Structure 1
Amino acid sequence: MPAESRIVVGVSGSLGSIAALHHAAAEARRTDVELLAVLCWTPPGDELGYRRTPYPPALTAGRDAAVARLRQALDEAFAGHHAGVRLRCQAVRGDTGRTLVGCADRPDDLLVLGAGHERGRLSRLLRPSVAAYCVRHATCPVLTVPRPALQRDLEELERGHGLRQSVTGS
């Protein structure tokens, strides 16, 4: 018997991921499939740091913080009410792109991601986009939800504020 399709959505708590979660929930209601909300996390100091100096209490604290962040994101997205879909949630340890691709491992799955904030050229070189990674490596369709207007406005304000500070601080 083939596995049932799902909608897998990456959740971080950002405005973009909340928009993706809303879009994924609407699609799950429309198609009557399970919605799997996934928050990816790594130990403090990242995986390499943890392997060099393992400290299990830090791992437990990192996992607990990820679970709390996932709960908070779901509460903020749905205002503490039932999402109206079959919802399953997981905080999964691992690199975001690889972990999301691994969770959306069925050909009939749909992976939904929020578009990240605008990044500079150096940032894109040092840390490639999760969405770009998922589009290249996923075995299922990937839907990227555009940044919400509020997120674009906030980023614009941040850029303007940072520019004003550097001009007046000179």
Structure 2
Amino acid sequence: MSENETRPVVVGIDGSPAAQSALRWAVEDARRRGCPVDVITAWHPDYGGMIGPVPAEVLMALSPQAMKDAAQKALDGAVHGFEGVEIRRILVEGDPRDALTKASEEAELLVVGSRGHNTVAEIILGSVSSYCVHHAACPVVVIREPKVKKEHTLAAAAAPLTPGPLL
């Protein structure tokens, strides 16, 4: 990267609500900085969870080309509609932790979501955000998972229950 070239804000996305929030945050930050956004999606074939015979349709959907195409479609869909900043789409085959920390070497900032996979996958694979915080070559911003708004019910509006008579 040359001295005159602006370093990008890098953001990792995986289709989760936290990743989409991270993308929105990264785009706003890049607008303020006047730099581009590198949006990275990593994919890799993983057949470790399959046990027993698998129908041909499922096997075709799990082919490397089908997985790459699905990841590209998700990447394109995630960045659709953002304007006012240069967005560069980057699709990488491999571990997202490695892809993001490598991209951080040339980045102004790395932005990731706090939750992507479910809890079981996080235990097996490890937290991407935690890995990035500890191994990135630039500052890292972790955007928390958006809170789900609970429906306001009549019971919630009622007076609180007390453990016994008030004295």
Give me the TM-score of the superposition, normalised by structure 1: 0.70
What is the aligned counterpart of 2:143 among 136, 142, 145?
145
Q: Give yes or no for the alignment of 1:64 onto 2:76.
A: no
Matches for 1:24-43 after TM superposition, within 5 Å: 24-43=26-45
- Residues 102 and 118 of structure 1: is their aligned pair in 2 closer, same or farther, counting only changes over 3 Å? closer
Matches for 1:115-134 after TM superposition, within 5 Å: 115-116=114-115, 125-134=123-132
SS in 2 for 1:136: helix
SS in 1 for 2:105: coil
Matches for 1:20-169 after TM superposition, within 5 Å: 20-45=22-47, 58-75=63-80, 81-106=81-106, 108-116=107-115, 125-150=123-148
- Residues 11 and 118 of structure 1: is their aligned pair in 2 closer, same or farther, counting only changes over 3 Å? closer
- 1:48-83 CA distance string (max 9 Å, x none): xxxxxxx9x9222221111011112223xxxxx342
For structure 1, the 5+ residue unaligned runs are 47-54, 76-80, 154-170
Q: CA deviation at 1:118?
A: 9.5
- Partner letter of residue 40 of structure 1? A
Give me the TM-score of the superposition, normalised by structure 2: 0.71
Cα distance in structure 2, aligned partners of 1:123 and 1:145: 19
- Partner letter of residue 113 of structure 2? G
Aligned to 1:7: 9
For structure 2, the 5+ residue unaligned runs are 49-59, 151-167
Cα distance in structure 2, aligned partners of 1:118 and 1:125: 10
- Determine which structure has the larger helix proportion and give its number: 1
Max radius of gyration: which structure? Answer: 2
User: Are the equivalent residues in 1 in contact too, given 2:8–2:37 (CA < 8 A)?
Assistant: yes
RMSD: 2.6
Cα distance in structure 2, aligned partners of 1:41 and 1:4: 27
Number of aligned residue pairs: 136
User: Are the equivalent residues in 1 in contact too, given 2:19–2:116 (CA < 8 A)?
Assistant: no
Q: Work out the percentage of aligned pairs sharing the same amino acid.
A: 30
User: Are the equivalent residues in 1 in contact too, given 2:15–2:116 (CA < 8 A)?
Assistant: no
- 1:117-140 CA distance string (max 9 Å, x none): 6976x7654331101111111111
